[in-house]
Structure 1
Amino acid sequence: PSKARDVPAPVVSHQAVAVGRKQGSTPRFSLTLTDSAGEAGTGGAGLPESPEIDPQWDVVHLDEKWFNADKDRRKTYLVPGETPRHRSWKSKRYIPKVMFLAAVARPRYDVARGAFFDGKVGMWPFVRLAPAVRNSRNRRAGTMVTKLVNVDAAVYRDFVINKVVPAIKASFPSASKRVVLQHDNATPHGSVTDRDLEAVSSDGWTFVVRAQPPNSPDLNVLDLGFFASIQSLQYKTMSRTVDDVIRSTLAAFDALCSDKLECVFLTLQAVV
């Protein structure tokens, strides 16, 4: 009918939505799981008669994320006569970005230390310092510059053993000193085994690793909202270089309050 009136069909559809005769819908597809996959996603057990929610007191959540200096589109609210701030990049490929590893746990009061534990174990960029190969308008050859590191199994294992574990020992409150490191099933994560953690389980500490089951709901608080909160704060700071991204991201991580992290843990309980 729209062709008979020389009106394109998309225009007719848009007008129908505008006047309320049609409404948009964006349904999401559901996963088709086999019986074995469904059992793996639920830990091999159905819902008990009196379900108990794991309080996560001994769990440290680990995950990685790329943090960009800027994004292509930003929504701003302007008063009449105001113009949006000018932003320009050579192309989207030239926007600096850095991958970080973050470790968080549930906030609580640490009776042994007599202080409040905010749940933020630490956050580390996957970078290294290397001398510049050639001169540029910004620095001379030989100046130490920040380079991104490709995250493979060896790099991830090194960060967990030499950065995450010492940070946990320094700040994590645990009466039993038993800590479960939880991460997803990304390929580099398989390099961290219980045998590796036995070597650093000293001074009364015991570390074990737990991978999230496949085809399961997102059970990591970093992906459930804490990374998004960090990114939102980080975008409020102007970043032009890799070093700027590192500074602004770490500052956003430090600035987030423990209440935000506790809210994400409550979201995790709702997902489970």
Structure 2
Amino acid sequence: MSNTIYIGYEFKVSPLQPAVEILIAELGYAGFESFVENQDGVTAYIQKEEWHTDVLDNIQVLDSDEFQITFEFNEIEQTNWNAEWEKNFKPIVVDNQVTVRAPFHDKPETAYDLVIEPKMSFGTGHHETTHMMIQHILKNDFKDKSVLDMGCGTGVLAILAEKVGANKLDAIDIDNWCYINSLENVERNDCNKISVYEGDVKLLDEKNYDIIIANINRNILLADISKYAKSLNKNGYLFLSGFYEDDISIIEAECAKNSLHLNDKIIRNNWASLMFNN
């Protein structure tokens, strides 16, 4: 069988957010299947057989006056594909307790070892929001709790939640690739208490949890906080991230409307992660 050839697009973006987030979403719809964020922007990959000369014609963010986006592209053979991932995906350690690594990395000595094959899914611990959510999980009691990981990406947060003692977990993502990737990572980490679903907040009808984790983005969170509040058991906790420090006041105000009270916050490189209780 011949090696699969990919086309790699290296996008340089300024300012980075929310442009990179929008760009990844639009490229996903255009057929790109893997993304690696970096300090200058994002590199996106599409199989050559799926590529065509006008593949970027419907990427609206490229025409936006709000952002400066430039790009160049080249072919990458399958033989170099794993090398690309290995070059871009380094293991990370959070608070000397959790290591998030790929299968090709050596086993660490930390208390929790999370093996994640990210593919195109968000959630490797490299982004500030995932890093902060891991910190929240480490700081709080998950033992025997029911947990929802909303917008689960790779499933990394649900996987850690099970490892620290949660006994019933749901992981939900609207993206089919994230759904499949989470299933794979759940199995890879020998987790047996996590159910993975493809869908959105509508799946929460008639469901309740002790703890809800939602690492998505500001607009989706603002739209869905009321649903999270209804699905949260008494004395429950809601962890939110995916927004900037400047957005804290609007997130806190929406939570207050739903009888959710700010309990803790973590700030990392202008990104924020908040903990609420009811």
**Structure ranking higher in strand proportion:** 2
> When the two structures are superposed, what TM-score results if normalisation uses the length of structure 1?
0.25
> When the two structures are superposed, what TM-score results if normalisation uses the length of structure 2?
0.25
Q: Which fold has the larger relative contact order, with Cα–Cα distance below 8 Å and residues 6 or more apart in sequence?
A: 1
